[in-house]
Structure 1
Amino acid sequence: MKKTLNYIRKIYNDSDGFIPLHAPVFLGNEKKYLNECIDSTFVSSVGKFVNQFEQMTSEYVGSKYAIAAANGTAALQIALILAGVKNGDEVVTQALTFVATANAIKHSQANPIFVDVDRDTLGMSPERLKDWLQENAVINSKGEAINKTSKKKISAIVPMHTFGLPCRINEIVDIANEYRIPVVEDSAESLGSFVNAKHTGTFGLLGVFSYNGNKTITTGGGGMIVTDNEELAKRAKHITTTAKIPHPFEYDHDEIGYNYRLTNLAAAMGVAQMENLNQIIENKRKTASLYINYFVETANHFFQEQNGSKSNYWLNSISFSEPSQRDDFLKFSNDNGIMTRPIWKLMNKLEMFKKCQCGDLSNSEWLEARVVNLPSSYNKFL
């Protein structure tokens, strides 16, 4: 353990200070654009930086449209509503995910169903997804996927690209199409990750990204919905802006809306961050390469991108052979000023989701007990 901590300190050129898990980095025009935003007095959800941030994002990920939202959870909630999820419906997602994924499903008035992940990608397993659907789903006369047990409509499938590692999204989309279920990608952690040169978040009907303070780039908070569907894009902007009908002075609203638009202040930071995204990704991939070279000589498994995919390596992660080894490492590293974290508790083990239907979660349970995130910040010494 001590050897590993010494290596982490060597990577970050810090012999005795605190090393965070993932700190934000500001390399360019953040202060300039924020000051410009303040001087313009357009600091809320109207302003040039919101539009510019959306345009830069759509160009980078290769989607036709991008709609900025207040945060990633709000973006996912709206994306699910746009995909057709309604009160009482069910949404299939993975048990090994951050709680925001499952929360967004509940915010959209649906109930999550949890399936397993693959051990190598940490993302939804196509095989386990297909197994669950074959056993539990049937297509009714309307062409809808229905859960044979609950009799509820299965309205969406939400895979996540965990820690920036792309899951087997092409296979997942193929299975979803077979059952006529739209895919909404939780790409919150994977800005800068690709599968065969196609960006994560653009394989399904919609995808979402997060710009929380600990993400690859940040707006201090914030999210983004991406899609190629013009009608859905227009509705996304409409309902995230309180569903207000455009008018010079009158207030008229045509449906229940949400005050979920990103502020111009946050977008100003996002524009500055996007200007340096390629540099940030290249830097993080160099850090990942250093970890890969080190852990190949140890008993720990380092999680790498799969053939045909490119990861942003948002959070670098390793696994231990036994849970006790993980626990010892977590205590030792944090006691010695190096921030490490376990992977999340499985969603079906959280009190509010304990009654949700689940598939075989053996891979998720194995990973839950063994995976640790390592410091993954932008490294100014590389």
Structure 2
Amino acid sequence: MNHQFIPLSVPNLKGNELEYVTHAIETEWVSTGGPYVDEFEARMADYVHSKGAISCQNGTSGLHIALQICGIQQDDEVIVPTLTFIAAINPVKYVGAEPVFMDCDHTLTLDVVKLQTFLVQECTFRDGNLINNQTQRLIKAIITVHVFGNMADMAGIMKLAAKYNLKVIEDATEALGTYYTSGPYINKYAGTIGDVGVYSFNGNKIITTGGGGMIISNNQDYLNAAKHLTTQAKSDDLYYTHDAIGYNYRMTNLQAALGLGQMEQLETFIAIKKANYEHYRQVIATIEGLELLPFREDVRPNYWFYALYLKTTYPLNRDALIKYLHSKNIQTRPIWGLISDQKPYEKNQSYQIELAKDYWKHVVNIPCSSNLTKTEVNRVLQALKYPETNRYFSKEAVPFSD
């Protein structure tokens, strides 16, 4: 039987998006000015309880601006995770700085224990400056990524940042709607704890504007600087006077109109994704060799992506499973290639990268769209439960072995 294709993660545009976008077109506010931009920024700031929000073209541009307003400059260093999408790291190079790569923990986010060991054993803190003993560069900031809608150990990260005078930039591009339910940051949303947070509204995110992103902060000076830099650093709008190198990183009114319709449905999307995750989890727990990775117990996650861990007892390895599910018209993907292994970053310092390598070998993301039906979830589960091993299982076909 030829089943309909089940995509990995696609938009859900069944609310007021068409009405708002149509209104923007009818009023001819389609470019980077218009009331929907201001309204979307205000709605976002209100939702996550931040002092303000500045829209931008995508998450990458948001991180680029975040680094600049945090004062990261040429030849500085920024501590980053190796297990993430490369867009979280490239902006470090945009500002002329260098990344130092850290391992992940079992939440797939930055390992705070190893981070502390690195800061104590591999660095010198003198006169308010953190110096990397190996490179003799100044370490100025940490970028932490809330992977798949989970939350990093922000209490641990913020404690170390305060001790060593480091800025903290939260890449919350995958974690809009995730917040702590206990601990020192109870009710604090992903992106609102560090100095600057960044969201993404790419087509596969929990809400989308097609492209688009958002910079948030509780520091008004940072918000003002972000607004200035994303709008070409104009000091005089009428006479086009510019006092810095700025960027055309503005969100359009059409994108913001779409985003406003999406924001109205965000909590509904999270509820659907949670229900599907729980259904997956209960059945996968009965399948030998598979585990659906959990989220932190002290957070309300947004359940953005589901991470399936393949143990060696499962009859298919990562690449064979992806190929097999593709034959069943089910889209999946491996976790990202570790950034410290990528060609542009091979010469950068990495510190005790171990667990991330294991997750790279064994994690597959399975369908998780907010419009995924229970019938489709059951189709995926049926395929996982009864893999056709004789045709697709070949250890020689994959670039790793256990």
TM-score range, shorter chain: over 0.9
CA shift for structure 1 position 251: 0.7
* Aligned-partner residue type, residue 131 of structure 1: T
Structure 1 distance, partners of 2:180, 2:70, is 23
Kindly state the Cα deviation for residue 332 of structure 1 after the two structures are TM-superposed. 0.4
Seen in structure 2, the aligned counterparts of structure 1 residues 380 and 331 have a Cα distance that, compared at 3 Å, is: closer
1:246 Cα deviation (Å)? 3.8
Of residues 214, 218, 235, the one that matches 1:245 is 235
Conservation of the 8 A alpha-carbon contact between 2:170 and 2:197: yes
What is the CA–CA distance in structure 2 between the aligned matches of 1:285 and 1:331, rounded to whole Å?
A: 27
Give the C-alpha shift of residue 203 in structure 1. Answer: 1.1
Instruction: Give the match for residue 80 of structure 2.
Output: 93
- Distance in 1, Cα, partners of 2:329 & 2:94: 37
Q: Quote the Cα distance in structure 1 between the aligned partners of 2:96 and 2:326.
A: 39
Which stretches in structure 1 are left out of the alignment for 5+ residues? 1-13
* Length-normalised TM-score, structure 1: 0.93
Q: Give the drift of 1:380.
A: 5.9
Equivalent residue number for residue 232 of structure 1: 222
Partner of 1:156: 141
Q: Secondary structure at the match of 2:198?
A: strand
Q: Deviations over 1:113-137 (max 9, x none)?
A: 1001002x10001101111111222
Which range moved further: 121-130 or 27-36? Answer: 27-36
Which residue does 1:204 correspond to in 2?
Answer: 194
TM-score normalised per structure 2: 0.89
Structure 1 residue 379, shift from structure 2 partner: 2.9
> In the TM superposition, what whole-angstrom CA distance separates every residue of 1:204-251 from its partner, at most 9, and x where no partner exists?
00110000001000000011111000011011001110001244x211
Number of the residue aligned with 1:59: 46
Quick one: which amino acid aligns to residue 332 of structure 2? Answer: T
Contact 1:287 1:379 in 2 (8 A): no
Partner in structure 2 of residue 347 of structure 1:
339
Q: Is the aligned partner of 1:126 residue 2:115?
A: no
Whether 1:219 aligns to 2:205 is no
Identity of aligned residues (%): 37
Q: Is residue 12–residue 371 contact of structure 2 (8 Å, CA) maintained in 1?
A: no
Contact 1:81/1:108 (8 A) holds in 2: yes
Deviations 1:278-329 (A, max 9, x none): 1111111111111111112122121122121111111111111139622221
1:339 to 1:243, Cα distance in 2 relative to 1, 3 A: same
- What does 1:313-328 correspond to in 2, within 5 Å? 313-322=303-312, 325-328=317-320
Structure 1 partner of 2:282: 293
Q: Give the counterpart letter for 1:206 in structure 2.
A: V
1:304 corresponds to which residue?
294
Matching of residue 371 in structure 1 with residue 358 in structure 2: no
CA contact (8 A) 1:170 1:203 kept: no
Give the secondary-structure state (helix, strand or coil) at the position aligned to 1:109. Answer: coil
Computed over aligned residues only, the root mean square deviation of the Cα atoms, in angstroms, reads 1.5
Q: What secondary structure sits across from 1:301 in the alignment?
A: strand
Q: How far did residue 108 of structure 1 move?
A: 2.1
The Cα shift of 1:101 comes to 0.8
Cα distance in 2 for partners of 1:24, 1:301 equals 26
Q: Check if 1:18 corresponds to 2:8.
A: no
Matches within 5 A, 1:72-83: 72-83=59-70
The answer to whether the 8 Å contact 1:166/1:310 transfers is no
Matched, 1:362 2:368: no
Aligned partner of residue 166 in structure 2, secondary structure = coil
Residues 1:186 and 2:171 are matched in the alignment: yes
Kept after mapping to 2: 8 A contact 1:211/1:220: yes
1:28–1:272 CA contact under 8 A, matched in 2? yes
The 1:380–1:118 alpha-carbon spacing in structure 2 relative to 1, beyond 3 Å, is closer
Q: Structure 1's 369 and 381: CA in aligned 2 closer, same or farther, altered over 3 A?
A: closer
Cα distance in 1 for partners of 2:371, 2:257 equals: 24
Q: Any idea what SS the aligned residue of 2:247 has?
A: coil
224-233 or 320-329, which deviates more: 320-329
Find the residue that maps to 1:159 and give its secondary structure.
strand
Q: Specify the alignment match of 1:9 in structure 2.
A: none
Matches within 5 A, 1:160-179: 160-179=145-164
Instruction: Describe the superposition over 1:239-289 as per-residue Cα deviations: whole angstroms up to 9, x where unpaired.
Output: 110001244x21101111111111111111001100111111111111111
Q: Distance in 2 between matches of 1:151 and 1:233?
A: 32
Deviates more, 1:275-284 or 1:294-303: 294-303
Q: Distance in 2 between matches of 1:295 and 1:173?
A: 35
Give the Cα separation in 2 of the matches to 1:136 and 1:84: 23
What is the CA distance between 1:347 and its match in structure 2?
Answer: 0.5
Seen in structure 2, the aligned counterparts of structure 1 residues 364 and 380 have a Cα distance that, compared at 3 Å, is closer
1:269 to 227, 239, 258: 258
TM-superposed deviation, 1:53: 0.7
Count, aligned residues: 366
